[in-house]
Amino acid sequence: MNALKIEAKHITKSFGDRQVLNDISFEVPEGKACVLMGTNGSGKTTLLNILTGFVEQDKGEVLLDDTCINKLKPYERCLKGLGRTFQDMRLVNDLTVMENVLLSFPGQEGEKWWKSLLPSKGVKSEQKNNCAKAERILSKCFITEEANSKAGEISYGQQKLLNLACCMACGTPVLLLDEPVAGVNPVFRERLSNILGQMKAEGRTLLIIEHNTDFIEAVADEILFLHDGKIQRYESYNGFRNDKKVLEAYI
C-alpha cells in the first residue's frame, strides 16, 4: 500500500450568512494521525464532508498527494485512496458482519452482472481469497465470533469495530474518521485505539474527529483545533489543552 498525504488549501465555506470555514489550510503527512478538535458547530464534520466530496467548498483546493481532487465525486475520491466513516454507522443491518466486510472490497470481478450469473474459476478464486482476507480483518477487529450475526443485532461498540473493519477492507491509504469512539465503552475504545495504531504503523494517514482524551493521547501525532473558522495546529495534546485560547473556547 502506497502512503499518501492529504492537504487542504485555502478552504472557505459559508452557509447563508454564516461563514463556517475561513481560508483554512493544513496538511496531514503520510503515515501520521491528526485529531481534529473543536466545539460543537465549529465545522469539523463540514470540513470532512468537503475533503471527501459530499459538500462543495466555496473556495480552495483539496489535494491528495499533491493532486487536486476538487472535481472528483465521493466514490472517485475513494478509488483514489481517500476513505471515511460517518457518525452514523451506515452498515447494511440485514446482512451479516462477514457480508458487510465482503461488500467493502473494491473492484470485485463478481460485481459484474454477467460474471455473477455464471461465476468463472477466477471469480470463485477471488471470492475465496476475499473470505480469507475478511476473516483476518475480523480477527484484527476482535469480532470473529460475530461473523455470522446480522450487523444490526450486534452491540454498538461492535458496530464501531465493524465500521472500521469495512474501511480496512476498502484498503484506502487515507482514512477520515468521524467520532470513532463516541459512545463506546473503554474495552472497545482501547481495541479501536490499537487497531488505528496498527493502521498508522502500516503507513495509513489518519484524520480523526474525536473528543475522548484517553483516545486522543493514544493515537494523535498532532492536534488540529478548529475555532471561529480557523485552524490552529498543536504538536502535542498537552500543548493543546494548556492553551488559554482553547480553554476560553470550551468555557
At 27-58, the pLDDT tens digits run 999 999 999 999 989 999 999 999 999 999 99
Express as a percent the part of the chain with pLDDT over 90: 61
Of 43, 46, 1, nearest to 201 by C-alpha is 1
Domain of 232 in residue numbering reads as: 6-250
221 within domain boundaries: yes
Examine residue 27 and state whether it is found in any structural domain, yes or no.
yes
Number of domains in the chain: 1
Q: Flag whether 154 is in a domain.
A: yes
Q: In this structure, are residues 207 and 29 in contact, taking their beta carbons and an 8 Å threshold?
A: no
| Average pLDDT, 10 consecutive residues per value, the chain (251 residues) | 88 96 96 94 95 97 96 94 87 96 78 58 80 93 94 93 90 92 87 89 93 90 95 92 87 61
Residue 174 maps to a domain: yes
Whether residue 1 is contained in a domain is answered as: no
Q: What pLDDT, on a 0 to 100 scale, did the predictor assign at position 118?
A: 57
